[in-house]
Structure 1
Amino acid sequence: MITLDAIDRTLLRALQEDARLSNVELARRVELSATGLQKRLRRLEEAGVIRGYAAVVDREALGFDMLCFVQVTLQRHEPDAVAHFRREVAAMPEVLECHHLTGEFDYLLKVIVRNRKHLERFILETLTPVRGMDKIRTSLVLSEIKAAAAVPLCEPPAEE
């Protein structure tokens, strides 16, 4: 784990708010020279703190009106069965996120679809046929209360 100082945290906050800020503006906000800023960014990128830069796209503006969470249980948990499931899910464009869980279900998928028919096709024609599938439970999102991608960047706890 990399140690972040106050400048790193300020820089990351600014990028999380608007990754399109120019380097000149970023340098001004964190009170660094252009060279100092580039060194900081490169260090954060090389350490894996900054994995990339992306646009936040409104799914509904593109016609994906339904957000769903799909819980999945596999029949078997042998490494080859798990690897097969993960490869299949990674190739499904409707799946935005896939999380391996503890508890009753093995995986939680965050899925977007255009409408009920698209959801039906996704469940019956894409997900269900995946070899090793056991249980599928789908929940439809009625409204999004919070959908944030920004990681909180609070001060580290004081050493005692």
Structure 2
Amino acid sequence: MAEQRRRIDPVNCSMGRALAAVGERWSLLIVREALDGVGRFGEFRTRLGIASNLLSTRLDGLVAAGVLRRVPYQEPGDRQRFEYHLTEKGRDLRPTVIALLEWGDKYLADEEGPSVVVRHGGGEEHGCDEPVTLVLECAGGHTHLSPDSVYRSPGPGARFLPS
């Protein structure tokens, strides 16, 4: 119990590292679009309404973070360009994007309701087409935990501040 009272060094924080990689507004919106199948620079620019220089900087950052990878392509008669494909690390951001969407829908949506609904697959073969929600679950199999019933505890990589 004394170990839990010691303050964990906030510099050694996976959440801080994650926010450094994808925490900027445009970065997560780019990831959202990539999760929906967008891959080309012009598509990102058009769908997001983002300035080209800012888009270029954010794409470079997501590539450097290992969230996206550049894949060359060339249309006949054009110079070589790049598409951006999600890596496993990027695809694993889907629950984070859904969680932010759920929070936004709950607290910030228009009076008419949310603008999109995340659904399970499409059709009998791939899913039931019902809305998806994220659920907090522990390793013991307890599901639908309330946010107030969970807490942070030191992990194996915890570093503590001097007492």
TM-score, with structure 2 as normaliser: 0.31
Higher strand share: 1
TM-score, with structure 1 as normaliser: 0.32
